[in-house]
Chains A and B, each alone.
Chain A
Amino acid sequence: MAMTDQEILTGLGEIIDEVAGVPAEEVTPEKSFVDDLDIDSLSMVEIAVAAQDKFGVEIPDDQLKDLTTVQDVIEFVRKAEASA
């Protein structure tokens, strides 16, 4: 069964807390990774890797740079799940 946006957000919050030490409650859809959460390109790679383990969705490096907000990742995961 497909995950809801809220479930993806919760999972993403746990990942970002572990990878970058940003408290999960600060991870909200409108936040920008670079500008609001102070997450750099290498942490984005770690988030992508953890997201693959958690959601079963691969986020390649060349698509990672287009995911600038938390909402972008939620949508990427939702669409990738739907097409899986």
Chain B
Amino acid sequence: MRVSQGAPGARILAFGGYQPARSVTNDELAQTMDTNDEWIRSRVGIASRRIAAPDESVADMACAAGGKALAGSGLSPSDIDLVIVATCTPETQIPNVAATVARRLGIIAPGAYDLNAACAGFCYALASASDAIRTGSAGHVLVIGAEKLSQWVDWTDRSTAIIFADGAGAAVVGPASEETGPGIGPVVWGSAGDMAERIYVKDRNSFIHQDGQAVFRWATTALHPVAKQACAAAGMDPAELTAFVPHQANLRIIEAIARKLGAPQAKVADDIVTAGNTSSASIPLALSRMIERDEVVSGDTALLIGFGAGICYAAQVVRLP
């Protein structure tokens, strides 16, 4: 049997992001539940979040972000032969989101699948895309994280309603060239199924439940070693990083991991302040906005780490396009 020959490395060619138009402030939430702006800011670091329109779907947001990333890459839809959509909040499980997004973007007959690793989804999907290119299963991959968490949130439950939001982020991944070198480092990933009941939706008629204190303890103790391993696997010292883009779960988790990681040169993503927690979308959405604001530049080395329900986590170092 013959086996495929892939590229020696993969890299990210472009990012794209999409946020719904409607911004919901803390004051607006305080009108319908017992909370206030100061409390929300101090506990989770969020000032406002974007919420999708009732008729705006996960696929709509995925298309918007994916289309921008595709345009930024300079490729045409026909160059893409694999579409991966990381999501845990689609309106339905059947059909998947990826094939719909591919059709709407004019990508003809690509491999297309959804991937559920919750808030770690983008990092899992990016690793899968990189591996597909390195093994020859795909030439160029469109990777999207898209979520409509607002449709899985109980809007009277202040422990979750203040946190979760909607949005999408995308990246186009292709083979590394000789002059650029590899741009996606080895993934360090894992899971902790014994903590499954810390973040869950009981059944299709239920909302997200989260044990915030237990998740906070886990995130502030278990993740910085994973982040350091991802740096080591890429042959880098955290001190060399120029950006640190963790899943935008909670500003205090972000700050705690950053402090324990020890990356003094790194610009730390704080997109959560105006985007909220958008699960698998948060990392590519934050990066697309940091690129737009010139907070990071091409060639920067960024450490990404996703973590969330499962519990699942994944981290890798990437070179920014």
Contacts and interface: CB of A to CB of B under 8 A. Distances in A.
Given A49-B220, A49-B221, A42 B214 contact: no
B252 interface: yes
A61 B256 contact: no
Interface in B208-222: 212-214, 216-217, 220-221
Interface string B25-58: 0000000000000000011000000000000000
A30 interface: no
A7 interface: no
A46 B214 contact: no
A53 B256 CA distance: 15
Contacts of B212: 42
A46 B256 contact: yes
A24 interface: no
A81 interface: no
Contacts of A28: none
B216 A45 contact: yes
Contacts of A45: 213, 216-217, 220
A61 B42 contact: no
Residue in A41, A45, A49, A61 whose Cβ sees the most chain B Cβ within 10 Å: A45
Interface residues of B, number: 11
B43 A40 contact: yes
A75 to B, nearest CB: 22
Interface in B38-84: 42-43
A48 B256 CA distance: 14
B220 A40 contact: no
Contacts of B216: 42, 45
A73 B212 CA distance: 22
Interface of A: 40-42, 45-46, 48-49, 61, 64
**Closest A-B pairs by Cβ, 4 of them:** A45-B217, A61-B213, A45-B216, A49-B221
Given A45-B220, A46-B220, 4 more contacts: A40-B42, A41-B213, A42-B252, A64-B213
17 contacts: A41-B213, A42-B213, A42-B216, A42-B252, A45-B213, A45-B216, A45-B217, A45-B220, A46-B220, A48-B217, A49-B217, A49-B220, A49-B221, A61-B213, A61-B214, A61-B217, A64-B213
